[in-house]
Chains A and B, each alone.
Chain A
Amino acid sequence: MSLGERIPGIAPTSAWPRCHEGVVCMTAFVVAMILAMPLAAASEPTLAEEAAFRTAVDRVAAAVVRIEPAGGSKAALAAAAEAAVASGPSTGLVVDPAGLILATAFAVPDDVGEVVVTLPGGTRLAAVPRGRDRTRGIVLLETGPIPGAVAVEPVPRRNLEPGQWTIALGRAWTVSEPSVAVGVLSAVNRGWGIAVQTDASVSPMNYGGPLIDIAGRVIGILAPLPADTAGMKLGTELYDAGIGFAVPLEDLLHDLPRLKAGESLGPGLLGIGYRGRDTINGAPVIGSVRQGSPAAGAGLRAGDRIVALNGRPTTRIADVRHGIVPLHAGDSVAIDVERAETAGELQRLSVKATLVESLPPWRRAVLGLTAPSSEDEQAPLRVAWVMPEGPAARAGLRVGDAVDSMSAIGADAQPPMTSPSAPAVAGFTAGLEPGQTVRLSIARDGEPMQIEAALAAMPTEVPDEGPPSEQGGGDPLAGPVDAVTVVRLEGVDVGEPPVAVMPRSGRQPLAVLLWCGPPHGAVAEAEATPWKAAVAESGVAVILPGSTDPRQWSRDDIPAVLRSLQSLAARRAIDPARVAVAGADAGGTFAWLVAERLGAMCRGVAVLDAPLPRQVGIDRAEPGTARWILMGAATEPMQRRLDGDRKRLERAGYPVGSLAAPTGDGPPAAILCRWASLLGLL
């Protein structure tokens, strides 16, 4: 680099010597000295890379535009509040100069009818949203012809390699120049195959902009994608975390005709549940087949092992998800399965199924009994408790009966099982509907017996009687104080350590109830007193978290609640099928947020005088993650609001029961503990 290029910047505008003649002379001298001395510059590769970044940016800059919803968007505001970012302008990429722009659903949520597009030169155009890819959070916008836009070139996915340069462009900071962030490609197959990952900074300012390679070809559209392992629903939380995502342009161009036609492309459902709890590394063995689903139509059955999807081998459940998640409803998928025949031989079958957008809501069907542990996949089921008036009780099943085999009448997709464990029974009934009949071979006191029972729908209301605690429990007057222990879950290094009330002893995994009362700061151990009798009777552990701010619950309290569960799990085994969150008033609203963060781990939510917070999404009920909801209100207006929530939840397939407000000040301890102990009902 020659010095001559640097001089104009120094001499005329240097601020120091401006006021003294002599200094000006001196500066001239200094400048002359510098002219004689070549200046240090970085070595060639560094400068060459810098030049390459600029050339790459220049190649696509004209296709990078600013996006703003006209008149703003309520949903964008809500999403922004959730992610603690404001809703400002965002970015879009012109994919067809005739008038097509890709942007993100973050910038253009469903409630936006018109969008203002600002071109690099400052010209504004009106655009309307056309199709959406709801899996990837991408929206296609249509405008009139876009003056000055250039056509962009996509990078084939197969050419992408982690470690290569990536440049993230946006146009939200300024209209005149695109913003530039440089990083490398971190991974090529994220979010079950829908995205690539980069360490270039990706934030609301460049969502919708292109991630390009060093040659100026477009890798993908920058987008907030949720990192579901981190409990993040939106993905916007990651803006300064060294992790960002882009949806490959190649994939989006493939679907461009459908998006142009205004289609709303959503996730495709197959209608299967898996056997086993490890939904990532577990073997892809079907545990249940939803009736009326594409899987049932294709003749798939519980017990089938999926060995290939669209020709790609699958050895783990994750492989199957990688195959299905990138597809849309309406797409066809080829499935190869291995099925164990009666002779023990494996038969390989190839079937085709067309994924659907929705299935009728799944309704949990039960026999009305509990097992000692709802999670033990090894031990064959023994009946620990029989629900009064339930199908098992009416069929004459008793405590202590061991189930040798189980079959369903008239359900091809659910072949018989021998020595089923509790989770296997849950998977079996998940593929059946209330009213269908199952045949059980049981052993009672060593004697074989045959029993038939018609499955019932999961109860909505909490029965008056529940499974007893391991100690026998039952009679609080017999000394509940001896049967339970109150501990502070120290070691919870965020927020106030919660108080836990739990059975003093016992071998079985504990059901856990998190109770979020009115916010008042740290929880005193005395607050455990109203729970002691219920804990003694039900054997459920109750955690009482405190709020950091004595006046309110906040999202910042959630990590402490999660930590308290871990802290309890370090002392006693927890039954993951029986973890529930409950709360009253502000604590009820907080309970919904905790439940959302817990995701599949939360199997019940009970609230008093607390409506469903607007930002909490309701996923459809699915086998393996089913929740039981209880709601109660003290006032008429609150009751009306809860009725709306109840309808929403019931439409999504959840059993919703009522929770009576307790008379007096205490929490409804007895009913909540009984409810938590029954969440694993089979």
Chain B
Amino acid sequence: MNRLGGLMMVWCGLVVSVCPCHGGEPASVQQMAAAAARKVVKIYGAGGVRGLEAYQSGILVSSEGRIVTVMSTVLDSEGIDCVLDDGRRFEATLVGVDPRRELAVLSIQAADLPAFALAAEPRVTPGTRILAVSNLFGVAVGDERASVQRGVVAAVVPLEARRGAAEAPYTGDVYVLDCTTNNPGSPGGAVVDSRGTLIGMLGKELRSSASGIWLNYALPADELTRGCDAIVTGTIAEVTKTPAPPLDLRRLGIVLVPDLLDRTPPFVDTVLPDSPAARAGLRPDDLVIAVGTRSVTSRDAMQRAVGGIAPGDPVRISVIRSGAVVECDVGPRPHDREAP
């Protein structure tokens, strides 16, 4: 993209985002919904072969046809079609993808489009009212406007989620929404606050790893902006999977009870003499309940939690002993090749 294009895009995007309502009159929810829906596009592409949905939503982020959406099989296609709010259909080209955030940027040849200003908005807090605008279930066709749902931001949490057995690559913060957005067609839809500001983009269908429930969530605007920026400037970092290096708990001086059950509780069996655990005051029969801020309820979970601490970072283990919580600072997590 050339420099002028970039300038125009930012300029027009911002102007368009404020245009419908300048003059200071408060907008009704209806006006805001309409303004947001004009900037949401219906995307049709590949898929549908194995029962996968061949449609999703996208957000116009420049008046010249830049669209941000989720990276998905829908885009694995020779021809990706984008249908605007006014019914015009454009073939889109894929500008690039951010595999970690599962974002994609598309481009269509058009001008003077209504668009959101993409900006690193500060995070909103739980309780913030939102409108979610997307083509859920593909019900909007042609010049029909995307669907509007209302709700609130329920929580701001790191994404720990799964799609089938696969872990979601993005583990940064998301907005969990109190709004049923976990639907086919919703991914890529816009989430705006009571000021009409774009605060996030609806994510893909995922289940929470912690609770197994389906998640209604959105990628916050700042992450969206960073991802788009990286795609457009070609500075996408490779997804580097760095599996937490396993750490033998014996290196800390902890021997847990044998793993006999499906999820054996992490009871301490033995504390090795003169070990970090012994110095920290850990004792046999202590029940480990947390490593740092992470709760653990099984041997496996404890192993993973300690494994997830970077070498050199402090290890704090919380245990229950005689009906009271005791915190034990075990010192830094050893480096993997260090002698115990």
Question: Chain A: residues with CB nearer than 8 A to chain B?
Answer: 1, 6, 8-10, 13-20, 22-23, 26-27, 30, 33-34, 37-44, 46-47, 49-50, 53-54, 57, 68-72, 77, 80, 84-86, 88-89, 114, 116, 118, 122, 124-126, 128, 167, 172-175, 177-183, 200-201, 203-205, 239-240, 242
User: B136 at interface (Cβ–Cβ under 8 A)?
Assistant: no
Stretch at the interface among B38-46, B194-202, B241-249, B305-313: B194-202
Contact A38 B127 (CB under 8 A): no
**Chain B CB within 10 Å — which of A14, A49, A54 has the most?**
A14
Contact B6 A85 (CB under 8 A): no
- Give the shortest distance, in Å, between A67 (CB) and chain B (any CB): 10
Contact A179 B229 (CB under 8 A): no
What count of chain B residues pass the 8 Å CB interface test?
Answer: 78
A-B contact pairs, 7 of them (CB 8 A): A30-B11, A38-B23, A38-B24, A42-B196, A172-B210, A204-B211, A239-B213
Contact A37 B22 (CB under 8 A): yes
Contact A26 B211 (CB under 8 A): no
* Chain A residues within 8 Å of B21, by CB: 39-40
User: B278 at interface (Cβ–Cβ under 8 A)?
Assistant: no
Contact pick for A9, options B29, B122, B226, CB 8 Å: B122
Contact B3 A23 (CB under 8 A): yes
User: B119 at interface (Cβ–Cβ under 8 A)?
Assistant: yes
Contact B196 A40 (CB under 8 A): yes
Contact B320 A26 (CB under 8 A): no
* Chain A residues within 8 Å of B156, by CB: 174, 177
Q: Taking CB as reference atom, which chain A residue is nearest B27?
A: A40
User: B152 at interface (Cβ–Cβ under 8 A)?
Assistant: yes
Question: Chain B: residues with CB nearer than 8 A to chain A?
Answer: 3, 6-7, 9-11, 14-15, 18, 20-24, 26-29, 31-32, 35, 117-122, 125-129, 151-157, 176, 178, 180, 182, 194-197, 208-214, 222, 225-226, 228-229, 232-233, 262-263, 265-267, 287, 289-290, 293, 295, 297-298, 318, 320, 323-325
Contact A15 B263 (CB under 8 A): no
- Give the shortest distance, in Å, between A212 (CB) and chain B (any CB): 12
* Distance A178 CA – B122 CA, assembled complex (angstroms): 19
* Distance A292 CA – B15 CA, assembled complex (angstroms): 81
Q: Taking CB as reference atom, which chain A residue is nearest B32?
A: A42
Q: Are A18 and B126 also in contact (CB < 8 A) when A41-B26, A182-B178 are?
A: no
Contact B126 A15 (CB under 8 A): no
Contact B293 A124 (CB under 8 A): no
Contact pick for A177, options B11, B125, B228, B265, CB 8 Å: B125
Q: Are A47 and B194 also in contact (CB < 8 A) when A16-B10, A128-B323 are?
A: yes
- Give the shortest distance, in Å, between B74 (CB) and chain A (any CB): 23
Q: Are A27 and B10 also in contact (CB < 8 A) when A125-B325, A179-B155 are?
A: yes
Q: Are A116 and B18 also in contact (CB < 8 A) when A86-B212, A180-B178, A239-B213 are?
A: no
Contact pick for B195, options A6, A69, A240, CB 8 Å: A6
Q: Taking CB as reference atom, which chain A residue is nearest B318?
A: A124
Contact B14 A34 (CB under 8 A): yes
**Chain B CB within 10 Å — which of A23, A89, A177, A179 has the most?**
A179
The 10 closest A-B pairs by CB, nearest first: A40-B21, A71-B265, A15-B229, A38-B24, A72-B297, A13-B120, A173-B155, A88-B210, A86-B212, A181-B178
Contact pick for A50, options B129, B225, B320, CB 8 Å: B129
Contact B18 A37 (CB under 8 A): yes
Contact A22 B213 (CB under 8 A): no
Contact B125 A9 (CB under 8 A): no
* Distance A178 CA – B18 CA, assembled complex (angstroms): 33
